[in-house]
Amino acid sequence: MKLLTLSLLASSCLAVPITEWDQKPIADPESNNPYNPKYRDPYDHKVDSYGKNWQPLPWRNGDGATVLGPQNKDRERQNPDLFRPPSTDHGSMSNLRWSFADSHTRIEEGGWTRQTTVRELGASTEIAGVNMRLDYGVIRELHWHKQAEWAYVLKGNVRITALDTEGGQFIDDLQEGDLWYFPSGHPHSLQGLSPNGTEFLLVFDDGNFNEESTFLLTDWLAHTPKAVLAENFQLSPEVFNTIPKSEKYIFQGTLPGSIDDELPKGKNVKQSKLQFTHKMLDQEPRNTTGGLVRITDSRNFPISKTIAAAHLDIGPGAMREMHWHPNADEWSFFIKGRARVTVFAGEGTARTFDFMAGDVGVIPRNMGHFIENLSDDEPVEVLEIFKADKFEDFSLFQWMGETPRRMVADHIFANDKEGAEKFLKAVENPVEDPIRAAPE
């Protein structure tokens, strides 16, 4: 009986539910960790919970409570401003963030591909992105698209081939930071070079694009009668008995030689007058107080009529200033670092998102926003990409500095003369500074 009583007692102890009071705040209130009920921050400073290995909890200035149910703690550390948003966030806004880590990966011989389109990220209506990897000698087969294709080389080396509408051929070898652009319908191919091959970001000027629906050479030939192939190429039908029975898509090819060795030698072959490639990182950067900016659009890459882009290096603690874009949605791809972005949608609506390497963000045109580097010792590298022929933005700082001082003061500091004087002094020289250094 005694043993039975002890057994029942032990069972009942194990069955006692964990209450809210059993979950202690994870930080001492005097520490810099904001995830406890006694922490106060009326100014909503940034929090790098991932970099500092803090576990977010939904406490903000004494409000909130702990979490009793299931948790995905890694996700919460990656997205602290969703789990404990700034007090300035308000209203309903669609999701504007997606990670390529959540996209389906298609694995092929010597490579893979994954995409972020309107199907993965509903706000991505103007642009679709594809992340692709090709090993040494691996080929993304000869093909073309309905959409234009813009690309940024993330790592390694790649050879591209293309044909223009006048029958001119183009071949070039690219490395990290280089771009290519193929207008709609222009046939092309890609092949990994160097021992480690290549990885790149492809951008298409239609959010409904599907990488699975490209026009592939082998797919077309497999679905054309051999008698027609024979007539077209002036050969006997038997020559085509060994062609692939379906698409090859990504496959291991023979190793390429130099461009000179690979150039077609036919007497009627001619080189294209178009320049399909551009070395973005070789551009002279615009130096700002907080980082570097390089802008590539139709003004310095003339063939790129439908895609404009900016490459940003945002220094530790710095921020891409408050601004908006009037001519297109911003489709951002984060290459390095960690950042927070607050998007202002009007009608009292704002929402904050956190981004890491491999993440995609969409900011609809005309919505105000910034990009703030969460880390005090690591840079953020990000591409801002637009379905547009030119990069355009408006700076809040410049707007305030170039608007009559009386009007600015009446809007923001009508009852605070001292605050008005400090603000107007800060904006009296509105020099363009798209990436602002951290305040001292």
Cα–Cα distance between 419 and 286 in angstroms, integer?
32
Distances (CA, A) of 410 to 127, 333, 368, 395, 403: 40, 39, 21, 20, 12
pLDDT for the residue numbered 85: 96
Return the closest-CA partner of residue 207 out of 280, 122, 131. 122
Least confident of 159-168, 212-221, 259-268, 393-402: 259-268
pLDDT at position 365 over 80: yes
pLDDT band at 186 (very low <50, low <70, confident <90, very high): very high
Q: Could you read off the pLDDT of 204-249 as tens digits, one per residue?
A: 999 999 988 899 999 999 999 999 999 999 999 999 999 999 999 9
Closest C-alpha among 209, 213, 220, 202 to residue 134: 202
| CB half-sphere exposure, 336, CA atoms < 13 A | 14
Closest CA to 144 of 198, 58, 215: 215
Q: pLDDT band for position 440 (50/70/90)?
A: confident
- Confidence class of residue 31 from pLDDT cuts 50, 70 and 90? low
pLDDT at 73: 94
Q: For the domain made up of 103-278, give the CATH fold.
A: Jelly Rolls (2.60.120)
Q: Are 437 and 287 in contact (CB under 8 A)?
A: no
What pLDDT, on the 0 to 100 scale, is given for residue 33? 84
What SS3 state is found at 22? helix
Residue 12 has pLDDT above 90, yes or no: no
User: Is 384 in the active site?
Assistant: yes
C-alpha span between 68 and 426 (Å, rounded)? 46
State the Cα torsion 39-42-43-45 to the nearest 10°.
Answer: 10
Residues 415-426 pLDDT 10s: 999 999 999 999
Q: pLDDT at position 395, please?
A: 97
* Per-residue confidence (pLDDT) for residue 78, from 0 to 100: 94
Q: What is the mean pLDDT of residues 426-437?
A: 93
Helix (H, G, I), strand (E, B) or coil at 154: strand
Mean pLDDT for 160-174 is 97
Q: Which of 109, 247, 384, 402 is catalytic?
A: 384
Torsion over CA of 237, 214, 183 and 269, rounded to 10 degrees?
-20
E strand map for 280-423 = 286-287, 291-296, 308-314, 319-324, 330-336, 338-346, 349-356, 359-363, 368-373, 380-386, 394-395
pLDDT of residue 265: 85
Listed range (261-265, 319-323, 363-367) with the worst mean pLDDT = 261-265
- Residue 9: the pLDDT is 40
Q: Mean pLDDT check: name the lowest of 36-40, 131-135, 273-277.
A: 36-40
pLDDT tens across 92-101, in order?
999 999 999 9
Query: Is the pLDDT confidence value at 330 over 90?
Result: yes
Percentage of the chain modeled with pLDDT above 70: 93
Query: How confident is the model at residue 333, as a pLDDT?
Result: 98
More confident residue, 30 or 75: 75
Instruction: Considering only the C-alpha atoms of the chain, give the largest distance between any 2 of them, rounded to a whole number of Å.
Output: 102
pLDDT at 49 over 80: yes
Task: Tell me how crowded residue 35 is: count the other CB atoms within 10 A of its CB.
Answer: 24
Residue 139 scores a pLDDT above 50: yes
- Tell whether pTM > 0.85: yes
DSSP three-state, residue 232? helix
Position 280 pLDDT exceeds 60 = yes
Work out the average pLDDT over 64-71. 96
- How much is the pLDDT for 266? 84
State the pLDDT at residue 313. 98
**3 pLDDT exceeds 60?**
no
Average pLDDT over residues 388-411: 97
How do the domains of the chain map onto residue ranges? 34-87, 103-278, 395-433
Span 185-190, average pLDDT: 98
Q: How many residues does the chain have?
A: 440
3-state secondary structure of 171: strand
Start-to-end Cα distance in the chain: 72
Residue 194: predicted pLDDT: 86
Structure tokens at 89: 């966030």
Tokens representing residue 226 in the block:
């051999």
